[in-house]
Amino acid sequence: MTRFWWVRHGPTNRRGLYGWTDVPADLSDTAAIERLHDHLPKDGLVISSDLQRCIATADAISGTRQRLPHSPTLREINFGDWETLTYAEAEAIDADLARDYWSNPGHSAPPGGESWHQAGERISGAVDHLAETHKGRDIIIVAHFAVILTQLQRATGMEPKSAISFSIDNLSVTRIEHLGDAWRVLGVNHKP
């Protein structure tokens, strides 16, 4: 069994669609960082998305844990031409596409961006590689909101629309185990 400890990066204090846009995390809540550090397995491997909000969060919680190289395949969904826009701004550009993208996630994608399914395939490939390469280990992955939700969807078999209804707060932990041929969810959005 391989245990995945999904950690959402620290808050960015920004509003809008920041998928591949590289914005910093606010890690000033040192008490929350310390609680998170203490909650995670001491011998866990730590990996993060290659965006600075995840790298800085992973650095803050790593302690003496082994760090794996940052991975671009663990990035948030690419919002393409909608990057940095608010939902209202994206809707003003193409109301039908914006509504479809959020109310029926799956195949639709922002111009120049990726769909829920495309992101899920990219992220699942990275997770499968980690599960195979580090079989039987605790793997702490510092990633993004939708990244975590794609794996929650995968583990439960729920529809994307159901998955995006979950809250994944900054500095929360979602635990998912890989049992070889099956997945098990042990907790979602836990705040230590």
Query: 110-147: per-residue pLDDT in tens?
Result: 999 999 999 999 999 999 999 999 999 999 999 999 99
**Identity of the amino acid at 87:** Y
Can you give the CATH number for the domain in which 26 is found? Answer: 3.40.50.1240
37-43 long-range contacts (CB < 8 A, ≥24 apart) are 37/61, 37/63, 38/192, 39/173, 39/192, 40/5, 40/7, 40/65, 40/138, 40/140, 40/173, 41/3, 41/5, 41/138, 41/140, 43/138
CB contact set of 121 (below 8 Å; sequence gap of 6+) = none
Enclosing domain of residue 149: 2-79+115-190
Distance of CA 72 to the CA centre of its chain: 12
The answer to the question of residue 30 being in a domain is yes
The count of domains in the chain is 1
Asked whether residue 99 is domain-assigned, the answer is no
Q: What is the pLDDT of residues 29-38, one digit of tens each?
A: 999 999 999 9
Q: Per the domain annotation, does 126 fall within a domain? A: yes
